[in-house]
Structure 1
Amino acid sequence: MCQLMGMNANTPTDVMFSFAGLATRATEHKDGFGIAFFEDKGVRLFVDPESALHSPVADLVKRYPIKSSHVIAHIRKATQGQVRLQNTHPFVRELWGRYWVFAHNGDLKDFNPRLHGSFRPVGDTDSERAFCWLMQELAKAHASVPTVDELTHTLAELLPQPARHGTFNCLLGNGQALWAHCSTHLHWLERKHPFGAAHLADEDLSVDFGALTSPGDRVAIVATQPLTRGEDWTAFGAGELRVFVGGASSGYG
């Protein structure tokens, strides 16, 4: 399966440590990678159809301490769609004057919704098709710009629909919040004061967050599988939706 990672924080934070752990999983997930960093209303998007283990773009991300409050990353193992740049997650669209970023882990069978608005796939993946449908339905559901709570309620109604067609673990963000939906495998973690040391699960690398943070900092991490050892990761339940704002989490469903 593909590997997902999301970060949501109450202050701009770099994800060099977490992304280094995610990238090591590209041994089995070699069909491209991507990562999106929100910065105010803008998005820095890095995507490459090459494996994250060998991509110069991935090396740049590992070494460049981009600070963001909202990050979505994806390591691809292709199921539908060729290994091409246009099929590389995360995908980005604009709605209500904001960029929306989406990444999906899973495989949807016979999910061919009618797309009649301005959201159309560029590639040929089930993931981008589901994202376009989701943006279309969000736009239809709200006559004006909704709050995060209103969006969460709407997403709780929409996300189970593509999930009926297969595995639909996904991350969705708009720079205000990060939404995570689980079909099968997804885990989350909150880091807050008192911060301690963390050790990557797949690489001999550790970091002391206590030396790098302030007492008021709060960071939430979402990943397909726990990225670190010795931290209190929590597994999502099947069909669970969680929203992360300011590094704090609340569940829905």
Structure 2
Amino acid sequence: MCELLAMSANTPTDLCFSFTGLTRRGGDTGPHKDGWGVAFYEGKGVRAFHDVDASANSRLAEVVQTHPIKSEVAICHIRQANVGEICLANTHPFMRELWGRYWVFAHNGQLSEFQSSPGFYEPVGGTDSEALFCEILNHLRSHCDRNDSAEVTTQHLVELSKTFAGQGVFNLLLSNGDWLFTYCTTKMASITRRAPFGPARLKDADVIVDFESETTPNDIVSVIVTEPLTSDEEWDIYQPGEWRLWRKGIVEAKGIAVNEQSGTAAN
């Protein structure tokens, strides 16, 4: 499996602290050594970095850790390869344009029964994750409109997630730069930091940060991960089948997507 990291904030914020903790799991404290990637939204643009080296040993990851790129939405992924060779084409997060916006996607899991359908978007690499991303965008392109509200688009994403979750493990991060959609079948956690801010210590690196010195009283910053990154904060654990729509660091909508065949949350 892989590990995910995302951020949603109400003001441009850097990801250095959380990214440093996650990268240690890529070949040091964890087995996810088959490449990594991160995408930062800056307005409608995206600054993206990908590398096939283990993130714990990547010189490029060191640059990202020490260069405070400010963003309101960011998505990161460290890979433990299951499907597809280790190469840049198979390195998350993946990105495509839809309705004049860049959409960014990262996935943790594997769907043994998934079969993609032909459509406008096609995968470049050989992962089921990228094929899933293309399937999602093809569905939205056919069934939604660029002027649809986030609520309408989210309902389509919930139904698609429910279907995919019935085929295997489907932990998802998806953003168009305005909002961030997250879906969990097995593992996902979040934390929302706001005033009064305090210190936090990473689990995977000997790093402590005092958020009070890095923020203003109006800042709201939420971090979503596969496994909690800090040892001294209380994280909110997702339930199996839970989805959340984040915007500006706040959950705007959430729910439990139920598998209609079994009557239980998909997992």
TM-score (norm 1): 0.97
Partner of 1:53: helix, strand, or coil? helix
Match of 2:16 in 1: 16
Alignment map for 1:210-249 (pairs within 5 Å) = 210-249=212-251
The size of the alignment, in residue pairs, is 252
Among residues 73, 91, 95, which one is paired with 2:94 in the alignment? Answer: 91
Q: Is the 8 A contact 1:96 1:145 kept in 2?
A: no
Deviation at 1:252, TM superposition (A): 2.2
Unaligned segments of structure 1, at least 5 residues: none
Q: Hey, what's the Cα distance between the residues in 1 that align with 2:128 and 2:196?
A: 42
TM-score (norm 2): 0.92
Match of 2:25 in 1: 25
Match of 1:179 in 2: 181
Kindly indicate whether residue 123 of structure 2 is the aligned counterpart of residue 127 of structure 1: no
Residue identity in the other structure for 2:182: A
Q: Per-residue CA shift, 1:142-191, capped at 9, x if unaligned?
A: 13422222221221111111222110001001110111100100001110
Q: Hey, what's the Cα distance between the residues in 2 that align with 1:243 and 1:23?
A: 25
Alignment map for 1:184-223 (pairs within 5 Å) = 184-223=186-225
- Runs of 4+ residues over 2 Å off in structure 1: none
Among residues 63, 68, 73, which one is paired with 1:60 in the alignment? Answer: 63
Residue identity in the other structure for 1:4: L
Q: Hey, what's the Cα distance between the residues in 1 that align with 2:156 and 2:172?
A: 16
Alignment map for 1:138-157 (pairs within 5 Å) = 138-157=140-159
Match of 1:102 in 2: 105
Q: Is the 8 A contact 1:2 1:29 kept in 2?
A: yes
Residue identity in the other structure for 2:196: P
Q: Hey, what's the Cα distance between the residues in 2 that align with 1:143 and 1:88?
A: 29
Match of 1:75 in 2: 78
Unaligned segments of structure 2, at least 5 residues: 257-267
Identical positions, percent: 46
Match of 1:6 in 2: 6
Partner of 2:20: helix, strand, or coil? helix
